[in-house]
Amino acid sequence: MGAQWELLKAVQHSARLKKELVAFGQGPDYEELLTALLEKAAGPGGALDDATVIGVIENFLFQYRLADGSTVADQFVARRADLSSADREMVLAWRHPVEGLFEVRGRDGAAVLLLNLVDDMEYEAYANAGPAVFRGIPRGAFLGTRLVPLAAAPDAWLVSGVMSSYAESRAPQVAQAALGLATGRPDIVFRNPELLALGRQRMRKDRSAFVEFFGADSWLAPPAEAERRLTDYYWLRGGAQRDPSEGTPAVPALTEAMLAADTVGVIYDATDGLNFYADYGLLRDLFADPALLADPRHRGLLDAYLRDDTIAPLPLRRLAADFPGTADTLIGELLHKPAATWNDDGDDLLRRHKPWYDEDTVHPGVTVVGDRLTELLAASQAQDREQARDRTQGPAPGRPRTGNRAPSPIRRRR
């Protein structure tokens, strides 16, 4: 009883702390920047609903990077000398939310027990506005929200920002939205160690098939040929027949920049997964002949590969391994150190330009879903097949036809 009472006190205290943080983030130091973010969210029409405003403020407080790289939450903690170490820990923990679509599994006092359909993990969630927030939300319903850790209790979480509820009958739409979120946000999926292990296992299997099909884990081709070869591969992997009437299989899309490039490099790495690189042929030529560094096009391409936050160190490391002798000459030119070598100085160069990259936290490049989401998707597909049969054959004997229409797809608020 004592532990539960302390937990509820921490929840109530979090409400006061959050109120102070929101006021800080809306203060004069940040007013201009926050106003600009709200205007951007409003779009041409200039209209903002409460959910959008709350979402913008939440992201601004905890995820938005200010000019010095810190967040508003970081600066709140730094400027509030009166905060206890526990308060500081609590606020900084809020920078690591868990987004998702959650199935309500039950209630436990003031908490609601949730299963995140995206990461297939359970959460004991509280609301700092009080348990009345969850009133009227039955077991089996779904919530679209984000949770943040309650640092005072390792297994407790707080609802943060907008919370939208959906009836159990909307399971098919919720499942499809959760699948979309899992595909677009693998960082959420792979919070679950079991799904992370499964993702790595499946990526190893897919990479082996890729290597078997192409004879290597990397190759170079003009964009049109690259698309054709990838399409052939994914047709094979999908077991599809090359029948034009069946349409085109799902193939990883090349960007406009790649389609406009001279060549596209395709690398299926054991750690970084499957990636495509525009003008990889030109970059390869530079590593083969460092004298091309004097050419603005080659130098600009190398700078882009070094500075672009969407490009991991992988392609540069691959080329350095392919051309060890000339890679040393190239890095010596870049660092203005003739004695530099890629083995001694290459990692430092890459870390300086790509401090965000951490090989230990790279996510598998495959989509993995948990058991419960798999069940919901299978049930939704079975329902679709049954409805299609009813439309073509009429209702099954003894089963009345209903006139209910499926609800419209949900829209996830962030």
Tens-place pLDDT, residues 91-126:
999 999 999 999 999 998 889 999 999 999 999 999
In the structure, what pLDDT confidence band is assigned to residue 251 with cuts at 50, 70 and 90?
Answer: low
- Are both 200 and 322 inside the same structural domain? yes
CA distance 308 to 316: 12
With CA atoms as reference, report the closest residue to 266 among 395, 365, 414, 118.
Answer: 365
Mean pLDDT of 7-23: 91
How many helices and strands in the chain, by DSSP H and E?
16, 8
Average pLDDT along the chain: 87
Whether 385 is covered by a domain: the verdict is no
Residue appearing with tokens 């009429």 = 394
- The model's pLDDT over 392-405, given as tens digits with 9 standing for 90+, comes to 665 444 333 333 33
Looking at 343, 361, 379, the residue that finishes a domain is: 361
pLDDT of amino acid 188: 93
Looking at 187, 202, 225, the residue that finishes a domain is: 187
In the structure, what pLDDT confidence band is assigned to residue 139 with cuts at 50, 70 and 90?
Answer: very high
Does the pLDDT value for residue 10 go beyond 50?
Answer: yes
Whether 381 is covered by a domain: the verdict is no
What does residue 115 show for φ and ψ, rounded to 5 degrees? -110, 120
Does the pLDDT value for residue 260 go beyond 50?
Answer: yes
Residue appearing with tokens 């973010």 = 37
Looking at 151, 172, 187, the residue that finishes a domain is: 187
Whether 386 is covered by a domain: the verdict is no
Domain range for 109: 98-187
- The model's pLDDT over 309-330, given as tens digits with 9 standing for 90+, comes to 889 999 999 999 999 989 999 9
CA distance 166 to 242: 41
Mean pLDDT of 259-267: 94
CA distance 127 to 160: 8
- The model's pLDDT over 207-233, given as tens digits with 9 standing for 90+, comes to 999 999 999 999 999 999 999 999 889
Report yes or no: 144 and 132 within 8 Å, Cβ to Cβ: no
Centroid of chain to Cα 168 = 26
In order of 17, 19, 193, 269, the CA distances from 23 in angstroms are 10, 6, 37, 46
Centroid of chain to Cα 164 = 21
CA distance 369 to 252: 19
Which residues, including other chains, have CB under 8 Å from residue 89's CB and lie 6 or more apart? 151
Number of compact structural domains in the chain: 3
Specify the pTM.
0.78
3-state SS class at 205: helix
What does residue 398 show for φ and ψ, rounded to 5 degrees? 75, 5
Amino acid at the residue 412: R
pLDDT of amino acid 8: 83
